[in-house]
């Protein structure tokens, strides 16, 4: 189904990577639902009733069904004949698996980027790190993370490995980054992403950039490991995330 003048998402919905609008209504709906799952509007294990969602998003049930089916492959939605569609559950073991895989992929990609990247890439990495550091992360008196910070944070981590020259590494990076965003959003509900961790994360971002500027791939890879593990260890404290390694369900 192609987008038309009645498409409620046309020209309005873009993802936080800055990707422009979509060629189909299903693509727009998939993006909208994806962003709502990533931002924990739908909690892990929560039912995703097609008829209700169709009313909420102002589209047909068929468009919702197709969108949810697409998100199964992203690991964000699950389907069961008896239970229907649900937001995918989360667990401590899954988070640690995601984190370890992110480290393997991003550390390798960062090594390649340092090997292949030029001075312009290093300058771009430094510039976006400084923009991120100067951007307020939270809404005033709220645990909600500002969309602008989310966009810059994604851009920063993508730029770190952009010079690797591998579309597949970027693809896997994006998938795993999305999963981590979701876990962070769940943790933010319980205000676990505290000020001390935020300050440490900013310092870690700067240290990673310094290692890149020094063309030190070993140091950069170690810093990525520490950065990702530090975030994971904080998120694990969220009550919504099972502590025995089993999946949760609302």
The string of pLDDT tens digits covering residues 73-86 is 999 999 998 889 99
CATH label of the domain that carries residue 154: 1.20.120.530
Q: What pLDDT does residue 85 have?
A: 96
Domain that holds residue 36: 25-87
Q: What pLDDT does residue 4 have?
A: 40
Q: What pLDDT does residue 16 have?
A: 44
Same domain, 117 and 216: yes
Determine the Cα angle at 131 with ends 129 and 133, to 5°.
70
Name the more confident of 205 and 7: 205
Same domain, 128 and 174: yes
- As a whole number, mean pLDDT of residues 92-121 equals 97
Q: What pLDDT does residue 83 have?
A: 84
Q: What pLDDT does residue 19 have?
A: 44
Q: Where are the alpha helices (DSSP H) in the chain?
A: 25-38, 50-57, 61-72, 92-116, 119-133, 147-161, 167-189, 195-213, 217-235
Same domain, 138 and 111: yes
Model confidence at 191, in pLDDT bands (50, 70, 90)?
low
pLDDT for 21 beyond 60: no
Q: Number of folded domains in the chain? A: 2
Burial class (CB in 10 A: 0-12, 13-18, 19+), 21: middle
Q: What pLDDT does residue 250 have?
A: 42
Q: Choose the weakest-confidence range: 124-128, 129-133, 185-189.
A: 185-189
Q: Choose the weakest-confidence range: 72-76, 143-147, 220-224, 243-247.
A: 243-247
CATH label of the domain that carries residue 59: 1.10.10.10
Name the more confident of 2 and 188: 188
Same domain, 126 and 185: yes
Same domain, 106 and 61: no
pLDDT for 124 beyond 90: yes
Same domain, 75 and 181: no
Q: Pseudo-torsion of CA 200, 109, 89, 22, nearest 10°?
A: 110
Q: What percent of the chain has pLDDT over 90?
A: 67
Model confidence at 226, in pLDDT bands (50, 70, 90)?
very high
Name the more confident of 147 and 131: 131
Q: What pLDDT does residue 100 have?
A: 97
Residue 11 belongs to a domain? no
Same domain, 151 and 172: yes
Residue 17 belongs to a domain? no
Residue 242 belongs to a domain? no
Same domain, 111 and 216: yes
Model confidence at 11, in pLDDT bands (50, 70, 90)?
very low
Q: What pLDDT does residue 242 have?
A: 57
- As a whole number, mean pLDDT of residues 10-23 equals 44
Same domain, 58 and 75: yes
Q: What pLDDT does residue 239 have?
A: 75
pTM of the predicted protein model:
0.82
Residue 246 belongs to a domain? no
- As a whole number, mean pLDDT of residues 205-229 equals 97
Determine the Cα angle at 16 with ends 12 and 20, to 5°.
45
Same domain, 68 and 138: no
Helical (H) or strand (E) element with 5: none
Residue 5 belongs to a domain? no
Average predicted confidence (pLDDT) for the chain: 85
Determine the Cα angle at 87 with ends 248 and 198, to 5°.
75
Beta strand 84-87 with 77-80: parallel, antiparallel or unpaired? antiparallel
């Amino acid at each position: 189904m192609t987008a038309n003048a009645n498409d409620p998402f046309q020209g309005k919905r873009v993802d936080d990577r800055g990707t422009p609008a979509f060629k189909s209504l299903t693509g727009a709906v998939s993006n909208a639902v994806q962003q709502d799952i990533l931002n924990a509007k739908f909690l892990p294990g929560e039912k995703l009733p097609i008829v209700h969602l169709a009313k909420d998003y102002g589209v047909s049930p068929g468009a919702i069904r197709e969108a949810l089916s697409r998100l199964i492959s992203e690991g964000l939605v699950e389907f069961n004949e008896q239970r229907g569609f649900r937001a995918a559950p989360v667990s401590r073991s899954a988070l640690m698996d995601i984190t370890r895989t992110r480290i393997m992929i991003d550390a390798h990609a960062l090594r390649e980027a340092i090997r292949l990247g030029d001075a312009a890439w290093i300058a771009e990495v430094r510039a976006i790190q400084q923009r991120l550091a100067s951007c307020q992360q939270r809404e005033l008196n709220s645990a909600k993370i500002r969309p602008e910070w989310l966009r810059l944070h994604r851009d920063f981590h993508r730029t770190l490995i952009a010079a690797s020259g591998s579309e597949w590494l970027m693809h896997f990076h994006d998938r795993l980054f999305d999963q981590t965003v979701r876990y962070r959003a769940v943790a933010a509900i319980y205000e676990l992403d505290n000020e001390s961790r935020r300050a440490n994360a900013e310092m870690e971002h700067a240290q990673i950039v310094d290692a890149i500027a020094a063309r030190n791939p070993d140091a950069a890879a170690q810093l990525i490991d520490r950065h990702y593990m530090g975030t994971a260890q904080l998120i694990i404290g969220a009550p919504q995330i099972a502590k025995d390694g089993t999946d949760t369900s609302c």
